[in-house]
Amino acid sequence: MTAKDTVAVRVARGAVVFRLQRRSALLTSMLWLCALTLAVAALGLGEFDLRLADTLRVLGGGGTLIEYDVVVRDRLPRVVTGLGVGAAFAVSGAILQRIAANPLVSPDVIGVNAGASFGALLVMTVAGGAGASLVLGALAGALLTSAAIVLIALNRGLNGYRLVLVGIGIAAMLSSAISYLLVRADYHQVLSAASWLTGSLANRGTLHVTIVLVALAVAVPVLLVLGRHLRILELGDDLARTLSGGTTRVRLALITTAVVLAAMATAAAGPIGFIALVAPQITRRLLAGRPVTLGPAAAAGALLVTGADLVARLLFAPTELPVGAVTGVLGAPVLLYLLARANRIGHTG
């Protein structure tokens, strides 16, 4: 970060100085603008079409009862959940990619999503639960899995490489357990499980919105304080310890933030694939020096999920696809491109 690419935001006569990188700030605002525009469009589009002016009028408190029902009760929770989980997945991926110094790391890879899926499926097939209990099952599954991964990886300081290996192992075990649950479930359960496992934003309500907004409300202040340590952690263990004293606590706090974000996002919308992996990688290609940054990644994640959900709803209307199907179709080629360009572990072109 050199002075000439940055804008200093000074508060309290210079006692508080935040530096924003111009290009990164610009990119973030543009991506959020696109995401919000798509979000407003998504509120009006669908089987019950509204013009933009009408949508805005309904949001402002006007409109008929049925318009209110469609826009505020039905579509708004879906759209807000989409924006939130997009940002949460992307930030989670960006943190993990920086700590592991590896662009191919994401919460899906280290087993957080598998934990959520296992929890949700357990509730669905064994307890026969749905709705709120499903969400809580997913949340419990993801958080327990994350705790297990971190505790196992914590042996002798926490290193990104070990975190990934432990996570891959746990993800593999959980996916066997998921297969087992699916085999012993009945036909109808398997159908709803399949939709949940793809990641879907259909029928979102206050519960889902609350979960994802709480996750972001907790994560943002933590990252505001600890985010700068990422610049040091990615210089390797030795230098990080020299430059910041002990690093284990900071690393643990950042990894916990990342997995909790992914856990809560998965509980709210299912394991929507590729966002965590791809959003940070798209934005870093748009920035000088190709840094993995949290702000732009969050905006890109929100835009990707909102866009993908719009496509999922409208492409084969009136039949809706789960949003995860669309992010998978869009994300897989990006992943392949990244893999093809990776010349050694930890470095991509």
Interface residues toward other proteins, by CB under 8 A: 1-3, 6, 8, 14-19, 98, 101, 103, 224-226, 228, 231-232, 234-236, 238-239, 241-246, 284, 288-291, 346-348
Q: Which is nearer to other proteins, 1 or 132 (CB)?
A: 1
Closest distance between other proteins and the C-beta of residue 237, in Å?
Answer: 8
Q: Which is nearer to other proteins, 190 or 342 (CB)?
A: 342
What distance in Å separates the CA atoms of residue 283 and residue 201, rounded to the nearest whole number?
24
Closest distance between other proteins and the C-beta of residue 30, in Å?
Answer: 21
Q: Which is nearer to other proteins, 33 or 243 (CB)?
A: 243
Closest distance between other proteins and the C-beta of residue 260, in Å?
Answer: 20
Checking phi first, is residue 63 left (phi over 0); if not, alpha (psi -120 to 50) or beta?
left
Closest distance between other proteins and the C-beta of residue 239, in Å?
Answer: 6
Whether 281 and 337 have beta carbons less than 8 Å apart is answered as: no
Closest distance between other proteins and the C-beta of residue 224, in Å?
Answer: 7
Closest distance between other proteins and the C-beta of residue 103, in Å?
Answer: 8
Closest distance between other proteins and the C-beta of residue 8, in Å?
Answer: 7
Q: Which is nearer to other proteins, 21 or 146 (CB)?
A: 21
Tokens read off for 153: 């990886």
Q: Which is nearer to other proteins, 78 or 284 (CB)?
A: 284
Kindly report the three-state secondary structure assignment for every residue of the chain: CCHHHEEEEEECCCCEEEEEEHHHHHHHHHHHHHHHHHHHHHHHCCCCCCCHHHHHHHHCCCCCHHHHHHHHHHHHHHHHHHHHHHHHHHHHHHHHHHHCCCCCCCCCCCCHHHHHHHHHHHHHHHCCCCCHHHHHHHHHHHHHHHHHHHHHHCCCCCCHHHHHHHHHHHHHHHHHHHHHHHHHCCHHHHHHHHHHHHCCCCCCCHHHHHHHHHHHHHHHHHHHHHHHHHHHHCCCHHHHHHHHCCCHHHHHHHHHHHHHHHHHHHHHHCCCCCHHHHHHHHHHCCCCCCCCCHHHHHHHHHHHHHHHHHHHHHCCCCCCCCHHHHHHHHHHHHHHHHHHHEEECCEEC
CB proximity list for 331: less than 8 A, separation 6 or greater: 273, 274, 275, 277, 278
Q: Which is nearer to other proteins, 148 or 287 (CB)?
A: 287
Closest distance between other proteins and the C-beta of residue 101, in Å?
Answer: 7
Q: Which is nearer to other proteins, 162 or 231 (CB)?
A: 231
Q: Which residue has the tokens 């284990």?
A: 248
Q: Which is nearer to other proteins, 61 or 245 (CB)?
A: 245
Q: Which is nearer to other proteins, 188 or 344 (CB)?
A: 344
Closest distance between other proteins and the C-beta of residue 349, in Å?
Answer: 9
